[in-house]
């Protein structure tokens, strides 16, 4: 029986979760606060209760730097497993998106493009090239979503199907931004409905929250649902700035990973949380009951 641990899930300050389940174990990847580190955090567990910190060989700020990189550090991993058994990691470093592959969640990871970003900071200089999230559909086809705004405004969500090599774009990139989108896309599917989750507001303020929109195809169009956002600041519960989530399934139930901010601090320090999510009879995600 799967039992949720108390929140926060991990000791310390982490954000932007990505979770892989492999051979009966959980591998949780995250941004190191404040504002990223020179590598990623990676935690391993057999029971989702006790966690062991693991060091990864990649990504690092030093290894993932190009002529177009800026000073921003390592942020926002997305790790997925393809039907052939290989793992792929998409990660933001220097406001660019990098990708590596491995045969195991702990690596060793090999840069797929030999020291060049998949999406450079100059791909579209009107927006922030961060928060890449990969989605593998039931037919094995892969899709990549990414994008944020500059100076906390003007966020856009871009999406594209990937070729089998997981780095080549198949067809044109499309703008799939739903209402209130700012950053942190996460795609999942239940039945025939595709759910594009995302964050709005500012993670360094109380305005950060989790929205979702639905569609009938991985590339949209997507319409925000009437009960969105599903998780927002609730001072009465001590919940501040929940956002940048991931959704996973265990034993037929769905769960949401997200970070929340420690209030009243000058530094942006975030904690990893997990709660259950559910759907109503019309396929809408119910508002999340956050546990403190």
Instruction: Tell me the per-residue pLDDT of 208-237, one tens digit each, with 9 for 90 and over.
Output: 999 999 999 999 999 999 999 999 999 888
Reading the block at residue 65, the tokens are 């730097």
pLDDT confidence of residue 1: 79
For residue 98, the domain's CATH number is: 2.115.10.20
Residue 172 included in any domain: yes
For residue 281, give Cα distances in angstroms to 54, 197, 246, 278, 284.
41, 19, 22, 10, 7
Residue 102 included in any domain: yes
Residue 207 included in any domain: yes
Residue 283 included in any domain: no
Residue 164 included in any domain: yes
Contact 254, 248 (CB under 8 A): yes
pLDDT confidence of residue 44: 98
Query: In this structure, what DSSP letter does residue 9 have?
Result: -
Which are the contacts of 247, defined by CB distance < 8 A and separation ≥ 6?
186, 188, 195, 197, 254, 255, 256, 257, 277
Number of domains composing the chain: 1
Residue 84 included in any domain: yes
For residue 142, give Cα distances in angstroms to 5, 206, 248, 257.
31, 34, 17, 22
Q: Mean of the per-residue pLDDT values for the chain? A: 97
**CB neighbour class for 96 (10 Å; exposed up to 12, middle 13-18, buried from 19):** buried
Greatest Cα-to-Cα distance within the chain, rounded to the nearest angstrom: 51
Q: Map residue 271 onto helix, strand or coil.
A: strand
Domain of 195, in residue numbers: 14-277
User: If we measure between CA atoms, which residue out of 249, 242, 254 comes closest to residue 286?
Assistant: 254
Q: pLDDT band at residue 23, thresholds of 50, 70 and 90?
A: very high
The model's pTM = 0.97
Instruction: Tell me the per-residue pLDDT of 116-162, one tens digit each, with 9 for 90 and over.
Output: 999 999 999 999 999 999 999 999 999 999 999 999 999 999 999 99
Compute the Cα dihedral for 177, 180, 185, 187 and give only its sign: negative
Residue 165 included in any domain: yes
Residue 286 included in any domain: no
Q: Give the count of beta carbons closer than 10 Å to the beta carbon of residue 283.
A: 13
Instruction: Tell me the per-residue pLDDT of 232-276, one tens digit each, with 9 for 90 and over.
Output: 999 888 899 999 999 999 999 999 999 999 988 889 999 999 999
User: If we measure between CA atoms, which residue out of 133, 139, 19, 28 comes closest to residue 82?
Assistant: 139
């Amino acid at each position: 029986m799967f039992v949720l641990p108390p929140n926060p899930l991990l000791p310390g300050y982490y954000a932007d979760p990505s979770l892989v389940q492999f051979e009966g174990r959980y591998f949780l990847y995250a941004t190191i606060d404040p504002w990223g580190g020179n590598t990623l955090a990676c935690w391993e567990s057999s029971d989702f209760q006790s966690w062991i910190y693991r060091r990864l060989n990649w990504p690092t700020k030093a290894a993932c730097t190009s002529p177009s990189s800026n000073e921003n550090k390592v942020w926002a991993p997305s790790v997925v497993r393809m039907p052939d058994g290989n793992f792929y990691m998409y990660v933001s470093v220097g406001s660019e998106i990098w990708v590596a592959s491995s045969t195991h969640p702990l690596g060793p990871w090999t840069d797929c493009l030999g020291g060049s970003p998949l999406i450079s900071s100059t791909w579209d200089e009107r927006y922030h090239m961060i928060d890449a999230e990969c989605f593998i559909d039931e037919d094995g086809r892969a899709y990549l979503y990414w994008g944020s705004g500059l100076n906390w405004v003007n966020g856009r969500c871009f999406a594209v199907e990937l070729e089998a090599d997981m780095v080549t774009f198949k067809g044109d990139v499309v703008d799939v931004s739903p209402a209130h989108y700012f950053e942190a896309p996460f795609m999942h599917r239940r039945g025939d409905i595709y759910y594009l989750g995302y964050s709005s507001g500012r993670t360094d303020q109380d305005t950060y929250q989790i929205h979702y929109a639905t569609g009938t195809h991985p590339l949209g169009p997507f319409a925000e649902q009437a009960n969105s956002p599903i998780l927002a600041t609730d001072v009465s519960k001590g919940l501040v700035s929940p956002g940048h989530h991931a959704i996973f399934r265990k034993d037929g139930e769905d769960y949401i990973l997200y970070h929340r901010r420690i209030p009243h601090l000058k530094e942006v320090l975030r904690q990893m949380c997990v709660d259950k999510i559910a759907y109503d009879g019309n396929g809408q995600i119910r508002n999340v009951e956050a546990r403190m």
